[in-house]
Amino acid sequence: MILVHDLSLIYMISNLLLFRMKRIKILVSISILVFLSSCNSGAFEEHEIGDNLIGNSTEVSLIDTFTIESSTVKMDSVVTSGQKNILFGKYDDPYFGKVNSDFYGVLGLGDSFNLRKINVNGVGQVDVHVKFDSLVFIVYSDKRYYGDTLAQQSISIHKVIEEIKYPDNEFAFYGHRNFAYEAEDLCNVNFFAKPVTQSVYNTEIDQDAEANDGGIRFRMDDELGLDIIKRVNNTEDDTVRDSNKWKKYFNGIVLKPGQNNTVMLSFPITDSKMKMRLYYSDAEYDEVGVSRFHDFPVLNTMLAFSNYTSDKSSTPQNLGRIVDRTEELSSDSTDNLTFIQGGIGFMTKVRIPYLEKLNTLGLTGGILKSELILYPKDDSFDSEQFKLPSSSSAFNIYTTNADNMTLSSILNPVNNQAVASVYNFNREYPDESYYSIDITNYVNNVLLSGQNYDDALLLSLPIETIGNSMERMVIENDPKSDFRIRLKTTYVVQK
């Protein structure tokens, strides 16, 4: 006789029973699942699994031979605004092609840029005029990167010449959006990306006008700085004292990576970690030469966004064939591979066409667990440049239709949150490592409500962050391989 407190223990028992089975019978329905699930609801109850429940008439079995059809689809619009950080850079991916991200943002005036006033004997209170020292653009890393950081990178910064605002009836910026900017740059410099050391932010150092380090500092064109100082010294010019006039004077900026860049970087845009800083000093009176600065911070996350472009013409599977969201590339035509990518918006579509047939195979039984198993292609990632998605919630899974729309997220019935993906690393045989996603709730709903021909699942990076993600994965689905997409279902059968 065995005491069972919850379904997780039943699942463990089922795995032990598998080794003792001499034959597998597939008889499935929902009734016994409802009974077993009661072990987890309400007050704690203790059930006996013995002659009165299982005896010799109940079997726990596993099946992972479902037909799985897969394809790659692409979102037609990916929101990239509204994030606390932005992606900037460029890299060349052997599977996804050349990926480029420009950053557009609005620089605020910060505090009103006024001249300092002092009292002068015999004159009274006077304005202290200032002189220009230098103009720099400061960014910090948040340690995330994708690609090769060893090569030298370059950046150019340009002034945007039209107002950065939402199009009519839209309330976000998408990855395909851009604005006109001046061809002549405000800055064009080379640098080396050091994501960890360039992430260190120290308030004291940052506020020290004599300091010249912290984050990455790009020296900008003196001409812009000189013009701003001229307006500061002209007390009748309110450009640097009125935020609305400043906005008309300086619409915004765009940061563009160089043609030979090899890495995508993530920069925070909150907490004053991205700004244009103008260094100046008093031109007269007692404090001549004392260094000071004024910051023009990136304004607001809703007006800051990344613009993505990608050249997929050289990709082995020619992913550029997907243009509209309603189009899809079957894994049969992409070397038995499917694709997921942040920023650009690739997603993997999965159909399990005969799932509903489980209802016809028996009279009494219940599903204990159904997991979707995904194997990353072995040579498609590494620990340095092209890392696998790392978080436990790397992927979300959604129901979809023939138009490849995300309809609803698959939820965990216990906490009503989106189901989490789990990376199962095999230390002995790393190439056998895989991701698993619990879709028990979805399978049970299909068995209860039925299945339409167009019913399918979309596997994606979380929709709310996909526009701000550098992660990607190549998934194997060769029907003849052990490393194919599987639906692993454990069930109990009452004979």
Across 188-212, average pLDDT? 93
Q: Is residue 196 part of a domain?
A: yes
pLDDT per residue as tens digits for the range 361-406: 554 567 888 999 999 998 899 877 888 887 556 788 999 999 898 8
pLDDT at 56 over 60: no
Across 261-280, average pLDDT? 94
Contact 274/267 with Cβ under 8 angstroms?
yes
The encoded tokens of residue 429 equal: 């045989």
Q: 254, 279, 309 — which closes off a domain? A: 309
Same domain, 337 and 455: yes
Across 409-414, average pLDDT? 81
pLDDT per residue as tens digits for the range 2-55: 333 334 434 434 433 333 332 233 333 333 333 333 333 333 333 333 344 444
Domain that holds residue 379: 59-76+324-494
Contact 329/72 with Cβ under 8 angstroms?
yes
Provide the 3-class DSSP secondary structure of residue 303: helix
Q: 279, 309, 339 — which closes off a domain? A: 309
Task: Please list the residues that pair with 71 across neighbouring strands.
Answer: 330, 349
The confidence band for 60, taking pLDDT boundaries of 50, 70 and 90, is confident
H or E segment and range at residue 15 = helix 7-18
H or E segment and range at residue 203 = helix 203-206
Q: How many residues comprise the chain? A: 495
pLDDT at 495 over 50: yes
Same domain, 230 and 351: no
Predicted local distance difference test score (pLDDT) of residue 123: 78
Q: Is residue 241 part of a domain?
A: yes
Predicted local distance difference test score (pLDDT) of residue 46: 35
Same domain, 235 and 100: yes
pLDDT per residue as tens digits for the range 62-115: 878 789 999 999 998 899 999 999 999 999 999 999 999 999 999 999 999 999
Global confidence as pTM: 0.82
Same domain, 237 and 331: no
Contact 118/129 with Cβ under 8 angstroms?
no
The encoded tokens of residue 15 equal: 């795995």
Which residue in this structure is represented by tokens 């008093």?
282
Q: How many CB atoms lie within 10 A of CB 232?
A: 22
Predicted local distance difference test score (pLDDT) of residue 200: 93
CA atoms of 294 and 279, how far apart (whole Å) = 7
Q: Is residue 4 part of a domain?
A: no
Q: Is the dihedral of CA 93, 311, 302, 205 positive or negative?
A: positive
Same domain, 63 and 114: no
Q: Chain centroid to CA 86: how far?
A: 11
Q: Is residue 315 part of a domain?
A: no
CA atoms of 432 and 466, how far apart (whole Å) = 27
Same domain, 351 and 240: no
Output the DSSP codes for 38-56. Answer: GGGSSS---EEESTTTTTT
Q: 281, 309, 337 — which closes off a domain? A: 309
Provide the 3-class DSSP secondary structure of residue 488: strand
Same domain, 280 and 394: no
pLDDT per residue as tens digits for the range 134-161: 999 999 999 999 999 999 999 999 999 9
The encoded tokens of residue 166 equal: 């939402």
Across 264-276, average pLDDT? 93
Same domain, 67 and 108: no
Mean residue pLDDT of the chain comes to: 84
Contact 397/439 with Cβ under 8 angstroms?
yes
Q: Is residue 32 part of a domain?
A: no
Q: Is residue 373 part of a domain?
A: yes
The CB-side HSE value for 317 (13 A sphere, CA atoms) comes to 22
What's the start-to-end Cα distance of the chain, in Å?
19
Same domain, 334 and 462: yes
The encoded tokens of residue 373 equal: 């198993």
The confidence band for 492, taking pLDDT boundaries of 50, 70 and 90, is confident
Same domain, 352 and 259: no
CA atoms of 265 and 258, how far apart (whole Å) = 13
Give the residue from 370, 346, 392, 399 showing the smallest Cα distance to 487: 370
The encoded tokens of residue 130 equal: 């200032």
Same domain, 64 and 146: no
CA atoms of 342 and 91, how far apart (whole Å) = 13
Predicted local distance difference test score (pLDDT) of residue 385: 80
Same domain, 286 and 392: no
Which residue in this structure is represented by tokens 């993600």?
469
Least confident of 69-73, 172-176, 335-339, 380-384: 380-384
Count of H helices and E strands in the chain?
6, 29
Number of domains in the chain: 2
CA atoms of 395 and 435, how far apart (whole Å) = 9
pLDDT per residue as tens digits for the range 283-324: 988 889 899 999 999 987 889 999 999 999 888 999 999 988
Across 398-423, average pLDDT? 85
pLDDT at 247 over 80: yes
Q: What is the dihedral of CA 375, 381, 384, 389, to 10 degrees?
A: -50
The encoded tokens of residue 47 equal: 């059930």
Three-state SS string over 449-464 comes to HCCCCCCEEEEECCCC
Predicted local distance difference test score (pLDDT) of residue 47: 36
C-alpha to C-alpha distances, 482 to 158, 223, 426, 485, nearest whole angstrom: 51, 63, 15, 9
Across 169-190, average pLDDT? 94
Predicted local distance difference test score (pLDDT) of residue 265: 96
